[in-house]
Amino acid sequence: MISDFLRKKISRHFTGQNKILFSNNIPGHNLIVENFRELDELGIYIHIPFCNKICPYCPYNKEIYSDEACRKYVKAVIKEIDYYAPLLTNKPVTNFYIGGGTPTTMLGKGIEEITSHIYKRFNMQCRIHMESHPNHLTHENLNAIEAMGVKYLSIGVEAFQDRHLKRIERSYTVKEVIKNVERAVGKNFECVNIDYMFDLPGQTELEVEQAGREMVDLGIQQVATYPLFRFPYTRLGREIHENSNTLTTMFRRRKLLKILEDIFYNSGFERSSVWAFTKKGVDKYCSVTVPAYLGLGASGGSYLKNIFYINTFNVAEYIKAIEEGDSPIALSIDLSEEMQMAGWLYWRIYETKFKKSDFELRFNKRFDKKYGTLMNLMSHIGFLKNGSDNITLTDRGTYWIHAFEDFFSIDYINKLWGTSKTNPWPEKVIL
Ligand SMILES: C[S@@+](CC[C@H](N)C(=O)[O-])C[C@H]1O[C@@H](n2cnc3c(N)ncnc32)[C@H](O)[C@@H]1O
Ligand code: SF4
Q: Is 59 in the pocket of ligand 1 (CB under 6 A)?
A: yes
> What does the radius of gyration of the chain's CA atoms come to, in whole angstroms?
21
Which residues, 6+ apart, have CB-to-CB distance to 393 below 8 Å?
Answer: 349, 352, 353, 383, 384, 401
In a domain, 313, yes or no: no
Q: Return the pLDDT at 102.
A: 98
Predicted confidence pLDDT, tens digits, the chain (431 residues): 545 555 565 555 556 666 788 999 999 999 999 999 989 999 999 999 999 999 999 999 999 999 999 999 999 999 999 999 999 988 999 999 999 999 999 999 999 999 999 999 999 999 999 999 999 999 999 999 999 999 999 999 999 999 999 999 999 999 999 999 999 999 999 999 999 999 999 999 999 999 999 999 999 999 999 999 888 888 998 887 656 677 788 899 999 999 999 999 999 999 998 889 999 999 999 887 778 999 999 999 999 988 999 999 999 999 999 999 999 999 999 988 988 898 889 888 888 999 999 999 989 999 999 999 999 999 999 999 999 999 999 999 988 888 877 766 777 788 888 899 999 999 998 87
Q: How many Å lie between the centroid of ligand 2 and the Cα of residue 388?
A: 43
Q: Are 270 and 280 in contact (CB under 8 A)?
A: yes
In a domain, 347, yes or no: no
In a domain, 256, yes or no: yes
In a domain, 269, yes or no: yes
Our mutation pick for probing the ligand 1 site, out of 64, 131, 233, counting the most ligand atoms within 8 A of Cβ, is 131
Nearest to 292 by CA among 63, 18, 4, 38: 38
Q: What's the CATH number where 222 sits?
A: 3.80.30.20
Q: Strands, E, within 101-236: which ranges?
A: 123-124, 128-132, 150-158, 191-198, 222-227
Nearest to 200 by CA among 159, 141, 234: 159
In a domain, 6, yes or no: no
Q: How many Å lie between the centroid of ligand 1 and the Cα of residue 426?
A: 26
Question: What is the DSSP-derived secondary structure letter of residue 160?
Answer: S
Nearest to 363 by CA among 341, 336, 335, 388: 341
In a domain, 258, yes or no: yes
In a domain, 69, yes or no: yes
In a domain, 121, yes or no: yes
As a whole number of angstroms, the distance between CA 149 and CA 114 comes to 12
Nearest to 46 by CA among 411, 302, 427, 354: 302
Which residues, 6+ apart, have CB-to-CB distance to 163 below 8 Å?
Answer: none
Cα–Cα distances in angstroms (integers) from residue 191 to residues 116, 118, 134, 153, 345, in the given order: 21, 22, 16, 6, 27
Beta bridge partners of 42: 93
330's enclosing H/E stretch is strand 329-334
Q: Are 114 and 136 in contact (CB under 8 A)?
A: no
296's enclosing H/E stretch is strand 293-296
Beta bridge partners of 344: none
Number of domains in the chain: 1
As a whole number of angstroms, the distance between CA 389 and CA 386 comes to 8
Q: Return the pLDDT at 229.
A: 87
Query: Whole domain around residue 195: which residue ranges?
Result: 27-279
Which residues' Cβ are closer than 6 Å to ligand 2? 51, 54-55, 58, 60, 62, 100-102, 133, 156
The whole model's pTM is what?
0.93
Our mutation pick for probing the ligand 2 site, out of 47, 50, 52, 54, counting the most ligand atoms within 8 A of Cβ, is 54
Q: Return the pLDDT at 242.
A: 59
